[in-house]
């Protein structure tokens, strides 16, 4: 009897302490308390009645052991309760019920958002996004694009020529300039890749225009190029139509007007009808055989179309922005509306 009471107390103590340590919530802990310390029918009560049955000589010894175990388990339970009720120490230092400071989150510039959306749309049509340098040589900005030396587009007054550099990107010496169009990227891609090609390139272009509500000396274009076996102008129109619809989500129409660009033949100006008006969105056409030859393609084997669209225009149209200068002023009141 004496032996078994001692081991029952030991066993009880061990079981209770580990149950307390393992309980993961105050609810768990309450269940443990009822089982081990409950007054009505807990395990401790059973032990207590055993102590009561011990002989008068043994009773004080068992009684003391009983009381020790009880207070040890009770203390463990209380300290566990304290830590469960207050999980993280920081919480006692920070009053989480106080209102926080107003955190001002930044956001992407509207043109960055527009460019991202353009890339997403064109990506769904199977066009890969490529980049090109903003400082260009004459070969990529003009020569390979079939723009002859006497062409007005090469006029120093219409371009940001930089001081004649010792080296340009092709490793040859010659003048460099801030690119005046993203069509340069067509050449860079075709020089390095064989058809079929389907790419778009978005980025800044620079022209010394007088700045007003619709002109800026720096703006953004999206260039597109598709070259392959039997690529047609009908496909060009379809791609532009689907693109415009995907971006504006309305009954958009696309119209071609005959035009001229040295690097396309035939060439067109592209207009878009949206919200009751026609507006010009860029230029396009079938890649000129001279351009295909300049990059080493066989113009009798492959054809291609190309287009260049103004990014600002689309964004302005969609958000009813009436002055292109707003994009570049960094006025937070403007920017935070997008
Ligand atoms: N690069 C022309 C410009 O900046 C736009 C353009 C026209 C791009 C026709 C093209 C194209 O790819 O085929 O005015």
Quickly list DSSP for 198-225.
Answer: EEEEEEEEE--PPPSSS--SEEEEEEEE
User: What's the chain's Rg over C-alpha atoms?
Assistant: 39
pLDDT in tens, 245-293: 999 887 899 999 999 999 999 999 999 998 899 999 999 999 999 999 9
Per-residue pLDDT, 172: 55
Omega within 30 of 0 (cis) for the link into 266: yes
Nearest CA to ligand 1 atom 8: 308
Contacts of 197 (CB under 8 A, 6+ apart): 189, 190, 225, 226, 227, 228, 304
Mean pLDDT of the chain: 91
pLDDT in tens, 319-333: 999 999 999 999 999
pLDDT in tens, 96-122: 888 888 887 889 999 999 999 999 999
- Please state the pTM of the whole predicted model: 0.70
Residue with tokens 């291609």: 304
Spatial distance between the Cα atoms of 245 and 73, rounded to a whole number of angstroms: 73
Taking the centre of ligand 1 as the mean of its atom positions, its distance from the CA of residue 263, in whole angstroms, is 8
- pLDDT higher than 80, residue 47: yes
Q: Among 136, 226, 263, name the best residue to mutate to test ligand 1's pocket (greatest count of ligand atoms within 8 A of Cβ).
A: 263
Taking the centre of ligand 1 as the mean of its atom positions, its distance from the CA of residue 162, in whole angstroms, is 22
Pick the CATH number of 110-335 from 3.30.930.10, 3.60.40.10, 3.30.390.50, 1.10.150.120: 3.30.930.10
DSSP string, 65-100: HHHHHHHHHHHHHHHHHHHHHS--THHHHS-TTSPP
Per-residue pLDDT, 163: 67
The fraction of the chain above a pLDDT of 90, given in percent, is 69
Domain with CATH 3.30.930.10 in the chain: 110-335
Q: Among 153, 181, 218, 290, name the best residue to mutate to test ligand 1's pocket (greatest count of ligand atoms within 8 A of Cβ).
A: 181
Taking the centre of ligand 1 as the mean of its atom positions, its distance from the CA of residue 52, in whole angstroms, is 102
Residues with CB under 6 A from ligand 1: 181, 183, 223, 261, 264, 282-285, 306-308
- pLDDT higher than 80, residue 87: no
Residue 269, strand partner residues: 257, 283
Residue with tokens 């309760």: 81
pLDDT in tens, 194-204: 999 999 999 99
Per-residue pLDDT, 44: 85
> At 277, is the secondary structure helix, strand, or coil?
strand
Taking the centre of ligand 1 as the mean of its atom positions, its distance from the CA of residue 182, in whole angstroms, is 8
Spatial distance between the Cα atoms of 284 and 39, rounded to a whole number of angstroms: 89
Q: How confident is the model at residue 174 (pLDDT cuts 50, 70, 90)?
A: confident
For residue 264, the ligand 1 atom closest to its alpha carbon is 13
How confident is the model over 146-155, as a mean pLDDT? 95
Taking the centre of ligand 1 as the mean of its atom positions, its distance from the CA of residue 173, in whole angstroms, is 26
């Amino acid at each position: 009897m004496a032996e078994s009471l001692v081991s029952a107390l030991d066993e009880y103590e061990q079981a209770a302490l580990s149950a307390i340590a393992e309980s993961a919530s105050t609810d768990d802990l309450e269940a443990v308390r009822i089982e081990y310390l409950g007054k009505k029918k807990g395990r401790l009560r059973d032990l207590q009645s055993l102590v009561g049955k011990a002989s008068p000589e043994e009773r004080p010894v068992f009684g003391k052991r009983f009381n020790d175990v009880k207070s040890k388990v009770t203390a463990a339970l209380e300290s566990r309760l304290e830590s469960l009720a207050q999980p993280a120490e920081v919480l006692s230092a920070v009053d989480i019920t106080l209102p926080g400071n107003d955190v001002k989150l930044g956001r992407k510039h509207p043109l960055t958002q527009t460019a991202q959306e353009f890339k997403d749309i064109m990506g769904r049509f199977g066009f890969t996004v490529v980049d090109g340098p903003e400082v260009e040589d004459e070969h990529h900005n003009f020569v390979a694009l079939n723009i002859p030396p006497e062409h007005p587009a090469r006029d120093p007054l219409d371009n940001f020529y930089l001081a004649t550099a010792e080296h340009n990107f092709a490793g040859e010496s010659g003048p460099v300039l801030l690119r005046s169009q993203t069509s340069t990227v067509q050449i860079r891609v075709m020089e390095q890749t064989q058809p079929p090609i389907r790419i778009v390139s978005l980025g800044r272009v620079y022209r010394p225009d007088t700045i007003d509500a619709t002109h800026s000396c720096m703006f953004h274009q999206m260039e597109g190029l598709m070259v392959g076996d039997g690529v047609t102008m009908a496909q060009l129109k379809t791609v532009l139509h689907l693109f415009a619809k995907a971006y504006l989500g309305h009954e958009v129409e696309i119209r071609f007007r005959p035009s001229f660009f040295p690097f396309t033949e035939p060439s067109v100006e592209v207009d878009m009808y949206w919200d009751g008006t026609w507006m010009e969105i860029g230029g396009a056409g079938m890649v000129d055989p001279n351009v295909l030859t300049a990059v080493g393609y066989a113009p009798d084997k492959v054809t291609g179309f190309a287009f260049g669209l103004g990014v600002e225009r689309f964004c302005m149209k969609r958000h009813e922005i009436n002055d292109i200068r707003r994009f570049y002023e960094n006025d937070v009141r403007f920017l935070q509306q997008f």
